[in-house]
A and B are shown apart, each in its own frame.
Chain A
Amino acid sequence: MSLVAPLLQVHAVTKTFAATPVLHGVSFEVAAGEIVCLLGPSGCGKTTLLRIVAGLEQADTGELHLGGQDLTAIPVHQRGFGFMFQDFALFPHRNVADNVAFGLRMAGTDKAAIQRRVAEMLALVGLSGYERRRVQELSGGQQQRVALARSLAPQPRLLLLDEPLGSLDRTLREELLDDLRAILKQAGITALYVTHDQQEAFAVADRVIVMNAGRIEQMGTPAAVYGQPASVFVARFLGMSNLLAGRVTAVSPQVQVATVLGVLHSAQAASSLQRGDAVQVLIRPDAARPAACTPDTPNCLATRLISASFRGSRLKAMLAVGDIPLTFELVGIEAARLPAPGAALTVLLAAEGVALLQAIT
C-alpha cells in the first residue's frame, strides 16, 4: 500500500436484501492510482459492494469517503465515477463515438473538446476509425473496448469494473487482460475491479481483496495472497485442494508439522507459531516433483498415481497416499516420466510449498 492518504475509504458497510444479509460491515481502502480487485465466488456480495460504491445501491449502514468527502448524500450521477458493466450496457441507439461522448456531454463539455477527447480515447483502446460504427456491429472484444473508452472519457475519479471480461470467451479474455491493465496504468486511473476469476484478479490487480459470504477474508498483493492464503476458504477458492489437519512439532530451525502423511517440513517463518498449535496444512499444487527419494528423507511421500491429465504446459496428477487424495501440477520434463496409473510414485515436496494456515474454519 502506498504512503499517501487513501483515495477511497469504505467503512463498515452493511446491506440486506429482503431479510437476507449480503454485506456484514465491510471496510477497506483504495489508494490513488491503485487497481484493487474484489475477488470471490458468485453471491459473496462483491458486486453489491461495487454498486454501493457507485451509488447504484444504498448501503444500510456504513460510510463511504472519496478523498475525504462523504459520498452518502451524493447521487449516482454526481459522483463522477466510471462504471463498466459485465455486458457493457452500450447504448444501442447511438454509434461508437456518441457512446464514448455521452459522459462528456452530460458534463457540458464543448463540442470541439468532446471530439478531441473521443478521438483520444478511441486511440487509447485501439479503435480509431470506428467512430461511426453501430455498436451492434462490433465484436464482443470491440464492445468491451468501447465500454472502457466510454467510462474513461470523462476522466473519472474512480473506475469501477463489474466482471468486465465475464461475457467474453477464454482466448479473448486472456488477450484483453494484459491490454486492460496496461490501459488502466497508462491512464493512471484508480480502479476497483470485481471478478470471480483468480487468474484475472492476479493479472490485473495491485492488490486483491478476497470476499466470502459478505465478509472480507483476506487482503494483500496477488503474490502474498497466493503465497500465504489466510484461511481454508481462500486456499480452496484459489484452487488449492491439498489441505490436512496438523499439529506443530517444531518451530526451529525449521517449522515442522505432524500430519497423517507424517511430519512435513515447511519453509514458512515461525512468527507466531508455537509447538503444539493445531493448524491446517496446505500443500500447494506446485510443491511436488517426482523424485527417487527414501521415506527417511524429509517431505518424501510414497504415493500411488491415480490418474494424470495433460493440460498443455503442465500436467495435472491425481495421487493418493493410502486413501488420502492429493492433486499436483507437474511442470516440464517430469511429466513424461510418469508411470502408468496404479503404479507407485515417490514425490518430494518443496518446503516452500508447505504452508500452515492458522485458523481452523
Chain B
Amino acid sequence: MAKSPGRAALAALPLLFLLLFYFYPLLSILGLSFAPAGRPDFSGLAALIARPYLLRVLWFTTWQAAASTALTLLLGLPAAYIYAHYDFPAKRLLRGLTTIPFVMPTVVVAAAFVTLLGPEGVINRALMRTLNLAAPPLDVLYSVGIILLAHVFYNTTVVMRIVGGFWANLDPRLEEAAAVLGASRLRRLTEVTLPLLAPSLIAAALLVFLFCFTSFGVILLLGGPRFSTVEVEIYRQAVNFFNLPLAALLSLLQLLLTFTLMAVYTRLQARAALPLNLRPQALALRRPAGWRSWAAVAGINTLLGVFLLAPLLALAVRSLTLGDHGLTLRYYTALRQNPTQSLFFAPPAEAIVNSIGFALAAVALALLLGLPAAYLLLARTPQGQPTRLARWLDPILLLPLGTSAVTLGFGYIIALDQPPLNLRTSLALIPIAYTLLALPFVVRSILPALRSLNPRLRESAALLGASPARVWREVDLPIIGRAVLTAAVFAFTISLGEFGATLLLAQPRTPTMSVIIYRGLGQPGLLNYGQALAMSTILMLVCLVGLLLIERLRTGEAEEF
C-alpha cells in the first residue's frame, strides 16, 4: 500500500475510534476497580474475594454455560453429521431455517420462550384445556431449565455451521483408507474422524460456551431475580444498587475470562485452518440409503424444526390472538398509543423509529470504519508478508467480539460522562456502542471478498482496455459490493436487536425496541404483555428479512466467523 496522507488518515480512523470508544472506557473500568477514589485502593477487590457471593455468581455462570454447551453439542453434532453427509429434499430451505434463531435478538427469544412455555404460554394453555386443569401444570419460567433451553435454541446452528462445515469438507477417503487398513467403524471414528474434527469441535464448543457465559438477556428475562451471571450482576450492581466499584470489578473479571476464551478460540481457529486436503462438499454428500438413515434424517429435522421454530411461531401467533378477542391487531395498534400517559414514556411505536435510526447510524459508521480496516488487514509488504500494522490490527479488531455488551455500556457510563467527552446524555453513545459490536462482523464479511479480488482480474480488465475507473467499477465494485451489502445488513440486524448495552445507555425518553420489549414483559397487565409480543414479532420479522438478504448475498461455501 502506497504511503499517502489520505491513506494514513483512513488508517488512523478505525484506530482512533477503537482507542476512544473501546480502550478508554475499559481503562476507566480498570481505574474504577482499583482506584475508586482516585488513589490505589484494593479493598474492594479484597472484599469481593472474601464474600461467597462472587463464587456463587461465578459458579452459576460457569456451570450453566457448560451445561448449555453440552446440551447444544448433543443436538448440534447429530444435526451437523446429517447435514454434512446426506443430501435430502428441501435441504437448503431447512438449513436456512435452522439459522433463524442465531440472528434473533435475545429479547425476541425471551419473549418467544415465555409465549411458548410461560404460565400463560401456548403449551400450558393447551394442557389446561385438554386435561381440564385449573392451574398451569408446567412451571418452567424463572428456572434453570428454560435458560438452558434458550441457550441450546440459540447456539445449535453455531455447532451445525462450524462443525458441519468442516465435516462436510473432510475427505471421505481418509476414513476409507483407515477401513481398508483394518479399522472398524468405531476405530475409524476415534483414530481418524474425531482427531481431524477436534479443532472445529473445540472451537464450536468454546464459542458456544463464550456466548452462554456472557449471556445477558436470556438470564435476565427468563431466569428472573433468582439467577445471576457475571454479566447480569454487572448490570444489577450498576443500575439497581449503583455500586459502581463492584460493577467495575465484575466487568474486569468478565473481560479477563472472555479474553482468555477468545484467545484460545482464535488459536484453535488458526489450527483448524491447517491444510487438510479439504474437498468440495458435493463429493461427500450422498442420498440416505436404507430406512435407518432416512429415519435419522427425518428425526433430526423434525426435532430441529419443532424445537427451533415452535417458540417463534408461538410468538407470532400469540401476538395476534392474545386475550379473548380472537384474531386481533389491537396490540399492534396499541403500540402507537402512550400507555401510561407518563411524561417519560413515549408511544412504543416511536421506539421503532429510534431503533432504526440508531441502527442506520451504526451501519454508516461501521462501514466507514470497517472498509478501511479491511483494506489495512490485507496490506502486504513487498515480500508478500502481512505488514506489521496488519498483524497488530487483526486481533485488536476482533476484541469487541469477546467483550460483553454490558461491560461496554457500563464503561461508557463511567468514562464518557465528563468533559472533554461528555456524551452521557447524548444519543450518539448508542450507535457508537452498536458500531463497536458490529465492527468485527463487518470486517469479517468484507475480508473474504477483498481477498478473492485477484489482482490478475484487475490486470486482465486493464489489458482488455478498461481505464482505472472502469476497472474499479467493473471488477472491484461487483465483487466487494455484495460483501459490503452483507456487512451492512449484518450491522443493521445486530444493532436492531442489541439489548445489553442498550439497556444501560438508552435514555428513558428515547427507548429502543428491545427496551420496550423488556419493559413490556416485566410489567403486569395483558396490554403490556401483548405490546411486548407485537413489538417482538415486528423485530423478529425485520431480522428474518435481514437473514434472507444475507443468505441471498452470500457467495461461495466458505464463511469466516
Contacts and interface: CB of A to CB of B under 8 A. Distances in A.
A90 B196 CA distance: 12
Contacts of A202: none
B276 A80 contact: no
B179 A56 contact: yes
Contacts of B171: 89
B479 interface: no
Given A92-B274, A93-B195, A54 B180 contact: yes
B173 A77 contact: no
Contact of A78 (B173, B174, B182, B287): B182
B18 to A, nearest CB: 36
B177 interface: yes
B139 interface: no
Which of under 10, 10 to 19, 20 to 34, or 35 or more describes the interface residues of B? Answer: 20 to 34
Interface in A242-269: none
Nearest to B177: A89
Interface string A1-18: 000000000000000001
B87 to A, nearest CB: 11
Residue from A55, A77, A81 having most chain B Cβ neighbours under 10 A: A77
Contacts of B276: 92
A136 interface: yes
Nearest to B199: A93
Contact of B173 (A18, A87, A107): A87
A102 B178 contact: yes
Contacts, number: 71
A111 B52 CA distance: 53
A89 B174 contact: yes
A154 B184 CA distance: 16
Interface string B285-310: 00100000000000000000000000
Contacts of A92: 174, 196, 274-277
Contacts of A107: 182
B182 A106 contact: yes
A55 B182 CA distance: 12
Interface in B298-337: none
Contacts of B188: 77
B184 A77 contact: yes
Contacts of A54: 180
B551 interface: no
A77 B183 contact: yes
B183 A136 contact: no
A49 to B, nearest CB: 15
Contacts of B196: 92-93
Given A89-B174, A106-B187, A77 B192 contact: no
A190 to B, nearest CB: 15
B41 interface: no
A78 B176 CA distance: 13
Interface string B133-177: 000000000000000000000000000000000000001011011
A80 B182 contact: yes
A7 B371 CA distance: 66
- Residue from A54, A76, A80 whose CB has the most chain B CB atoms within 10 Å: A76
B538 to A, nearest CB: 46
Interface in B187-203: 187-188, 191-192, 195-196
B173 A154 contact: no
Nearest to B181: A103
Contacts of A80: 182
A85 B179 contact: no
A151 B184 CA distance: 17
Interface in A103-125: 103, 106-107
Which residue among B177, B191, B195 has the maximum number of chain A CB atoms within 10 Å of its CB? Answer: B177
A89 B176 contact: yes
Given A93-B196, A106-B187, A77 B180 contact: yes
Contact of B192 (A82, A91, A103, A136): A91
A209 to B, nearest CB: 21
A301 B180 CA distance: 56
Nearest to A153: B181
A194 to B, nearest CB: 14
A83 interface: yes
A80 B179 CA distance: 10
Contacts of B178: 77, 91, 102, 106
B277 A87 contact: yes
A85 B177 contact: yes
Interface in A181-214: none
Contacts of A106: 178, 181-183, 187
B182 A154 contact: yes
Interface in A1-50: 18
A103 B179 CA distance: 9
A150 interface: yes
B182 A85 contact: no
A267 to B, nearest CB: 46
Given A87-B173, A89-B174, A76 B179 contact: yes
Contact of B176 (A82, A85, A151): A85
Contacts of A85: 173, 176-177
Interface string B249-289: 00000000000000000000000001111000000000100
Contacts of B183: 77, 102, 106
A57 to B, nearest CB: 10
Contacts of A79: 180
Contacts of A93: 195-196
Contacts of A82: 180-181
B177 A83 contact: yes
B390 to A, nearest CB: 25
B192 A56 contact: no
A113 B195 CA distance: 25
Contacts of A103: 181-182
A79 B196 CA distance: 25
A76 B180 contact: yes
A190 B276 CA distance: 31
A83 B275 contact: no
22 contacts: A55-B180, A56-B176, A76-B176, A76-B180, A77-B178, A77-B182, A79-B180, A81-B180, A82-B180, A83-B177, A85-B173, A89-B171, A89-B173, A91-B177, A91-B178, A92-B174, A92-B196, A93-B195, A103-B182, A150-B181, A151-B181, A154-B181
Given A77-B181, A103-B182, 16 more contacts: A56-B176, A76-B179, A77-B178, A77-B182, A79-B180, A81-B180, A82-B181, A83-B177, A85-B176, A87-B173, A89-B171, A89-B174, A91-B192, A106-B181, A106-B182, A150-B181
Q: Which A-B residue pairs are the 3 nearest by beta carbons?
A: A103-B181, A106-B182, A89-B173
Interface of B: 171, 173-174, 176-184, 187-188, 191-192, 195-196, 274-277, 287
